[in-house]
């Protein structure tokens, strides 16, 4: 640890910045209060004056990432019409998630919601209402967007955590075993296998697939905005169901 780092006063912001840098470099499994204290050049007990233990530290990591997403969104707030503004907002959030590939797993595991997240979604709704959507459609849009609004997609199949090691031989053997039982699913997985350099968050969430899903939803919303609401949207019912979620 440098002499300059020792001279810097300890603060919650400084501790969280160091924690993010550590997890970016080595994954969530490397993060402990003792290890973070060593990175900061302080005693472990000093951290407890700023962060209430490991759970408070993890909540702080989520707050930090959400803050980055909000800041990125602020830099793109003036992007064209509602569609362009939302598209750029979500792609900016994705850039944040690609910098912190551990964040989706951590964000979806926390029991508390960072305050910054409410402001972020409030701005999403404001963009839609300003673009001519009703609050009813904006509500349904939030359900449809799901985690896309935060820059990642929750996958149907999640065989490991975002920072888990990938065993290529084991994956190949598993695919071979699957081939006869689920031939179409296996063929799809083989055909859609990504290049190792393809930026990814999760099992098969590539940039192309993220943008495909986002554009599909935005196109559909644009049709609803043009007065093409189907009866189940107008009356709050869903096909085969009793109402909206």
Render pLDDT for 119-163 as a digit per residue (tens, 0 to 9). Answer: 999 999 999 999 999 999 999 999 999 999 999 987 666 554 444
What's the helix, strand, coil split of the chain in %, to 5?
A: 65, 0, 35
With left for phi above 0 and alpha for psi between -120 and 50, is residue 240 left, alpha or beta? Answer: left
Confidence of residue 194 (pLDDT cuts 50, 70, 90): low
170 vs 148 pLDDT, higher one? 148
Q: How far is CA 8 from CA 13, 14, 36, in A?
A: 12, 9, 15
Cβ burial, residue 90 (10 Å; 0-12/13-18/19+): buried
Contact 192, 208 (CB under 8 A): no
* Cβ contacts of 12 within 8 Å, gap of 6 or more: 50, 51, 60
Closest CA to 16 of 43, 72, 56: 56
> CA 42, CA 10: separation in Å to the nearest integer?
8
For residue 201, what pLDDT is reported? 75
Q: Does the pLDDT of residue 64 top 60, yes or no?
A: yes
Packing angle, helices 82-99 and 115-130, rounded to 10: 150
- Cβ partners under 8 Å of residue 25, min gap 6: none
């Amino acid at each position: 640890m440098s002499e300059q780092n020792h001279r810097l006063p300890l603060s919650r912001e400084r501790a969280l910045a160091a924690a993010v840098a550590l997890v970016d470099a080595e994954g969530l499994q490397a993060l402990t209060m003792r290890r973070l204290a060593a990175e900061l050049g302080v005693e472990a007990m000093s951290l407890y004056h700023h962060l209430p233990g490991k759970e408070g530290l993890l909540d702080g990591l989520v707050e930090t990432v959400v803050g980055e997403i909000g800041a990125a969104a602020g830099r793109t707030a003036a992007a064209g019409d509602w569609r362009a503004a939302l598209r750029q907002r979500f792609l900016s959030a994705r850039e944040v998630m690609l910098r912190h590939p551990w964040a989706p797993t951590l964000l979806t595991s926390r029991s508390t919601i960072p305050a910054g997240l409410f402001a972020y979604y409030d701005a999403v709704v404001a963009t839609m209402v300003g673009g001519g959507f009703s609050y009813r459609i904006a509500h349904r849009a939030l359900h449809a967007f799901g985690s896309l609004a935060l820059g990642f997609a929750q996958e149907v199949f999640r065989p490991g955590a975002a920072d888990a090691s990938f065993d290529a031989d084991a994956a190949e053997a598993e695919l071979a075993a699957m081939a006869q039982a689920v031939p179409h699913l296996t063929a799809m997985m083989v055909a859609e296998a990504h290049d190792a350099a393809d930026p990814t968050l999760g099992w098969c969430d590539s940039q192309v697939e993220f943008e495909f899903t986002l554009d599909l939803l935005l196109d559909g919303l644009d049709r609803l905005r043009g007065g093409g609401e189907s009866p189940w949207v107008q009356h709050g019912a869903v096909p085969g169901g009793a109402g909206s979620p």
